[in-house]
Amino acid sequence: MLNFDFKNPTKIIFGKGQMAVLPKEIPADAKILLLYGGGSIKKNGIYEQVKEALSDFEVVEFGGIPANPEYQVLLKALEIIKSEKITFLLAVGGGSVIDGTKFLSSAALYEGEDPWEILKKPIRTFVGMPFGCVLTLPATGSEMNSGAVITRADSKEKLGMGGPGLFPQFSILDPEVIQSIPVRQLENGIVDAFNHVLEQYITFPAGASLQDRFAESILQTLIEVGPKVIENPSDYAAASNFMWSCTMALNGLIQKGVPTDWAVHAIGHELTALFGIDHARTLAIIGPNHYQYNFEAKKEKLAQYAERVWGISNGSVEEKAQAGIDKTKSFYTQLNVSYKLSDYTADYNGVATTIANRLDARGWVKLGENKNITPKDVEKIVEMSY
Amino acid sequence: MLNFDFKNPTKIIFGKGQMAVLPKEIPADAKILLLYGGGSIKKNGIYEQVKEALSDFEVVEFGGIPANPEYQVLLKALEIIKSEKITFLLAVGGGSVIDGTKFLSSAALYEGEDPWEILKKPIRTFVGMPFGCVLTLPATGSEMNSGAVITRADSKEKLGMGGPGLFPQFSILDPEVIQSIPVRQLENGIVDAFNHVLEQYITFPAGASLQDRFAESILQTLIEVGPKVIENPSDYAAASNFMWSCTMALNGLIQKGVPTDWAVHAIGHELTALFGIDHARTLAIIGPNHYQYNFEAKKEKLAQYAERVWGISNGSVEEKAQAGIDKTKSFYTQLNVSYKLSDYTADYNGVATTIANRLDARGWVKLGENKNITPKDVEKIVEMSY
Tell me which chain A residues have a C-beta less than 8 angstroms from the C-beta of B214: 214, 217
For residue A12, give the nearest of B2, B6, B12 by CB distance: B6
- CATH 1.20.1090.10 in chain A is located at 182-384
| Total Cβ atoms within 10 A of residue A277 | 19
**What pLDDT was estimated at residue B361?**
84
Q: What is the pLDDT of residue A154?
A: 87
Residues pairing with A70 in the sheet: A151
Domain covering B183-384 in this structure, CATH number: 1.20.1090.10
Residue of chain A whose Cα is closest to the Cα of B248: A210
* C-alpha triplet A204, A205, A209: angle, nearest 5°: 140
ipTM greater than 0.85, yes or no?
A: yes
pLDDT at B291: 98
Residues 6+ apart with CB under 8 A from A349: none
Q: Do B257 and A240 touch (CB under 8 A)?
A: yes
pLDDT band at B159 (very low <50, low <70, confident <90, very high): confident
SS3 at position B92 = strand
Residue A283, CA distances (Å) to A113, A199, A264, A270 in order? 36, 10, 6, 11
Specify the amino acid at residue A105: S
CATH code 1.20.1090.10 region(s) in chain B: 183-384
Q: How confident is the model at residue B158 (pLDDT cuts 50, 70, 90)?
A: confident
Amino acid at B260: T
Contact (Cβ atoms closer than 8 angstroms) between residue A97 and residue A35: yes
First-to-last alpha carbon distance for chain A, in angstroms, is 37
Question: Distance between CA A86 and CA A89 in Å, rounded?
Answer: 8
Task: Give the pLDDT confidence of A10-51 residue by residue, as tens digits.
Answer: 999 999 999 999 999 999 999 999 999 988 999 989 999 999
Whether A244 and B257 lie within 8 Å, measured CB to CB:
yes
At residue B170, the pLDDT reads 98
CA distance B375 to chain A (A): 34
- Cα–Cα distance, A98 to A184 (Å, whole number): 20
**Cβ–Cβ under 8 Å, residues A376 and A288:** no
Contact B172, B13 (CB under 8 A): yes
Q: Give the tens place of pLDDT for each residue, A243-288.
A: 999 999 999 999 999 999 999 999 998 999 899 999 999 999 999 9
**pLDDT (0 to 100) of residue B326:** 98
Residues constituting chain A = 386
**pLDDT number for residue A281:** 98
Q: Give the number of C-alpha atoms closer than 13 A to the C-alpha of residue B268, restricted to the C-beta side.
A: 25
Return the half-sphere exposure (C-beta side, CA atoms, 13 A cut-off) of residue A43.
9
Other CB atoms within a 10 A radius of the CB of residue A33 amount to 25
Secondary element (H or E) of residue B93: strand B88-93
Encode pLDDT of B190-201 as tens digits.
Answer: 999 999 999 999
* Amino acid making up residue A35: L
Contact A197, A219 (CB under 8 A): yes
Q: Show which residues on chain B lie within 8 Å of chain A, measured between beta carbons.
A: 1-18, 175, 207-211, 213-214, 216-218, 220-221, 224-225, 236-237, 240-241, 244-245, 248, 256-257
Per-residue pLDDT at A164: 97
What integer is the mean pLDDT of B55-76?
96
- Mean pLDDT, range B30-57, rounded to an integer: 95
Its pTM surpasses 0.90: yes
Bridge partners (DSSP) of residue B150 are: B159
The distance of B88 to chain A (nearest Cα, Å) reads: 20
Q: Which of A307, A306, A210 is nearest to B213 (CA)?
A: A210
Of B3, B11, B211, which has the smallest distance from its Cβ to A15's Cβ?
B3
* Separation in Å, CA of B306 to nearest CA in chain A: 16
CA B241 to chain CA mean position, Å: 17
Partners of residue B248 in chain A, C-beta under 8 Å: 210
Residue pair B213/A245 in contact (Cβ under 8 Å)? The answer is: no
Cis check for the bond before B122: say yes or no (omega within 30 of 0).
yes
State the pLDDT at residue B39: 85
Q: What is the dihedral sign for C-alpha B363, B369, B374, B380? A: negative
Asked if residue B241 lies in contact with residue B14, where contact means CB atoms within 8 angstroms, the answer is no
A304-313 CB contacts, 8 Å cutoff, 24+ apart: A304/A205, A304/A212, A305/A201, A305/A202, A305/A216, A305/A219, A308/A213, A308/A216, A309/A216, A309/A219, A309/A220, A309/A223
Q: Name the average pLDDT for chain B.
A: 96
Instruction: State how far the Cα of A354 lies from the Cα of A379, in Å rounded to an integer.
Output: 8
Q: A240 and B221: CB-CB below 8 Å? A: no
For A61, the 3-state DSSP assignment is strand
Residue A255: which of A218, A284, A223, A297 has the closest Cα?
Answer: A218
* Averaged pLDDT, B98-111: 98
Most distant pair of Cα atoms in chain B: their distance: 66
Number of neighbouring beta carbons within 10 Å of residue B364: 15
Please classify residue A48 by burial: count the beta carbons closer than 10 Å to its beta carbon, then call 0-12 exposed, 13-18 middle and 19+ buried.
exposed
- Tell if the CB–CB gap between B11 and A5 is shorter than 8 Å: yes
Superfamily of domain covering A182-384: Dehydroquinate synthase-like - alpha domain (1.20.1090.10)
Shortest Cα distance from A339 to chain B (angstroms)?
A: 26
d(C-alpha B60, C-alpha B62), whole Å: 7
> To the nearest whole angstrom, how far is the Cα of B203 from the nearest Cα of chain A?
17
B327: part of which helix (H) or strand (E)?
helix B317-334
Point out the residues of chain A with pLDDT beneath 70. none
Tell me where in chain A the CATH 3.40.50.1970 domain(s) lie: 11-176
Rounded CA-CA distance A297/A303 in Å is 12
Which whole-number Å values give the CA distances from B56 to B22, B30, B49, B53, B339, in the listed order? Answer: 11, 10, 13, 8, 49
Of A30, A95, A84, which Cα lies nearest the Cα of A62?
A84
Q: What CATH code is assigned to B11-176? A: 3.40.50.1970
Q: Which long-range contacts (CB under 8 A, 24 or more apart) does B346-350 make?
A: B347/B275, B348/B386
Instruction: Count A/B contacts: CB-CB distance under 8 Å.
Output: 124
